[in-house]
Amino acid sequence: MMGTYRMAVIGRLTTVALWAGLGVASLGVTSLGVAGLGIGGAAAQQSADTSPVRIGVLTDMSGLFADISGHGAVIAVKMAVDDFGGKVLGRPIEVLSADHQNKADVGLSLARAWIDEKNVVMLADLMNSSVALGVMELTRNKDRIAIVNGASTSVITNEKCTPNSIHYTWDTYALARGTANAVVNRGKKKWALLEADFAYGHQLANDSRRFVEAAGGAVVSEIKHPINTSDFSSFLLQAQSSGADVIALANGGADTINSIKSAAEFGIGRGGKQQVVGLAINLNDTKALGLDAAQGLLLTEAFYWDRNDETRAWSKRFQEKFGKMPTSTQAGDYSSTMHYLKAVAAAGTLDAQTVMAKMRDTPVDDFFAKGGKIRIDGRMVHDMYLAEVKKPSESKGPWDFYNILATIPGDQAFRPLSESACPLVKK
């Protein structure tokens, strides 16, 4: 009996010595390494491990959301890694990136391969709601972390919340609430919703309807269009003939740009009774449209580069690397990656649940947010901003687009926990 025990111990020590000499990755058993040693492992194992800590940026690099996140998201994450010092827990940090092509199956396949074959511990950006929801479930099952900046559907921190995911920048709830309240309070009470026919568009339209009605308005027409539409004429004519005061665009990226350009061609919103409202306008959308077409648009934003000295300083650094000022999503990618790395260092481990707890316990205080707080449902609560697109005569430079009309405190912008359907929230 004693001899059997001694042989078992010797066998185990021999295996550990072999792994230390060859490295887990070189044996092709990264997933076994996670299961056997734990992502974090003991402190002694962590200090001995010199393999890279890998972060995967899964985003849209070639489709209609590429300007919102895309290559700029990768640059933002790499900036955070460089500013952090390039290492955590004594190990180099490596950033992987891939284009999910706005296909949920492609995104899920890439994420699974990264986790199983590359031992990726955190997945970032996750532009596109369908991709984000699939990857969130995968990271729950694999016990990794997903930080969503690109996707916007509010179900991410509501009925689809997970203990392994964070929704950082904005969501359809906050975008709809801020814009709907402002527009209805200005007397525009009859709304037509022009809605992209997929999960994100549906949720943005649903959230908008709720806040329009709560503010005393009504949705008189709801028109769905396919994603990545080039010709919006028939959809806009339907909205125009509805008698609505407002034509609200529950879409994003190139769809938002094309619909606003088409509206300008029809003269909608130019001194008439109807106003065009973008429910999810970002900086690059406004750049692509030009101030002549976009002037007067009301929108809700999570970040604007020219808000204060801190936002200007970081944004100019980003511009030097990317050639453009950052969108909210790209700024959020940097901030959330930095917050993650600080939590890993403070926790002394890569274990997902330990790091998630540390991220929730630590406020976000940087150029992106002051006093930001990650709740149990994964929502990072921070201030949002109501903005209006400037007239061409008001702009002082190539990226000077917005007048900030109001700050919306985080607890007034995002869904309160009292209304949450997240199973992690105790009622």
CATH of the domain at 262: 3.40.50.2300
The whole-angstrom separation of Cα 400 and Cα 291 is 10
| pTM of the predicted model as reported, rounded to 2 decimal places | 0.83
Residue 1 counted as domain residue: no
Question: Among 361, 378, 395, which residue terminates a domain?
Answer: 378
Q: Say if residue 49 is in the same domain as residue 105.
A: yes
Q: Say if residue 178 is in the same domain as residue 285.
A: yes
Q: Say if residue 193 is in the same domain as residue 266.
A: yes
Residue 306 counted as domain residue: no
pLDDT tens digits along 213-237: 999 999 999 999 999 898 999 999 9
What is the total count of domains within the chain?
A: 2
Q: Say if residue 197 is in the same domain as residue 209.
A: yes
Residue 415 counted as domain residue: no
Residue 289 counted as domain residue: yes
The whole-angstrom separation of Cα 415 and Cα 174 is 7
Amino acid identity of residue 228, one-letter, is N
Please measure the distance between the N-terminal and C-terminal CA atoms of the chain and give it in whole angstroms.
54
Q: Say if residue 133 is in the same domain as residue 207.
A: no
Residue 420 has pLDDT above 80, yes or no: yes
Residue 11 counted as domain residue: no
pLDDT tens digits along 5-18: 333 333 433 333 33
The DSSP annotation for 346-413 comes to: HHTS--HHHHHHHHHHS-B-SSS-SSBEE-TTSBEE--EEEEEEPPGGG--STT--EEEEEEE-HHHH
Distance of CA 332 to the CA centre of its chain: 7
Q: Say if residue 191 is in the same domain as residue 105.
A: no
**φ, ψ for residue 382, nearest 5 deg:** -155, 170
pLDDT tens digits along 306-365: 999 999 999 999 999 999 999 999 999 999 999 999 999 999 999 999 999 999 999 999
pLDDT at 44: 43
Query: How many Cα atoms occupy the beta-carbon half-sphere of 233 within 13 Å?
Result: 3
The whole-angstrom separation of Cα 157 and Cα 281 is 21
CB-based contact 207:172 (threshold 8 Å): yes
Q: Say if residue 395 is in the same domain as residue 263.
A: yes
The whole-angstrom separation of Cα 185 and Cα 83 is 43
Residue 213 counted as domain residue: yes
Q: Say if residue 94 is in the same domain as residue 240.
A: no
CB-based contact 165:141 (threshold 8 Å): no
Residue indicated by tokens 């709740």: 375
Q: Say if residue 161 is in the same domain as residue 184.
A: no
pLDDT tens digits along 76-116: 999 999 999 999 999 999 999 999 999 999 999 999 999 99
Structure-block tokens of residue 150: 């690109």
pLDDT tens digits along 118-164: 999 999 999 999 999 999 999 999 999 999 999 988 999 999 999 99
pLDDT: is 196 or 27 the higher one? 196
Residue 374 counted as domain residue: yes
Residue 268 has pLDDT above 90, yes or no: no
The DSSP annotation for 10-48 comes to: HHHHHHHHHHHHH-TGGGT-HHHHHHHH-SS--HHHHHH
Cα distances (angstroms) measured from residue 91 to each of 22, 26, 73, 341, 345: 17, 16, 23, 12, 11
pLDDT tens digits along 385-394: 999 999 999 9
Per DSSP, the three-state class of 62 is coil
Q: Say if residue 253 is in the same domain as residue 241.
A: yes
The contacts of residue 179 (CB under 8 Å, 6+ apart) are: 208, 248, 277, 278, 279, 298, 299, 300, 386
Q: What domain range includes position 96?
A: 39-170+312-378
Distance of CA 4 to the CA centre of its chain: 54
The whole-angstrom separation of Cα 291 and Cα 281 is 13
pLDDT at 270: 65
Closest CA to 413 of 328, 309, 325, 321: 328
The contacts of residue 64 (CB under 8 Å, 6+ apart) are: 102, 227, 228, 252, 253, 254, 255
Residue 19 counted as domain residue: no
Structure-block tokens of residue 367: 């150029």
The whole-angstrom separation of Cα 341 and Cα 220 is 47
Structure-block tokens of residue 294: 């976009």
**φ, ψ for residue 190, nearest 5 deg:** -100, 120
Q: Say if residue 322 is in the same domain as residue 295.
A: no
Q: Say if residue 297 is in the same domain as residue 390.
A: yes
pLDDT at 264: 83
Query: Considering Cα of 356, then 358, then 363, then 364, what sign does the dihedral take?
Result: negative
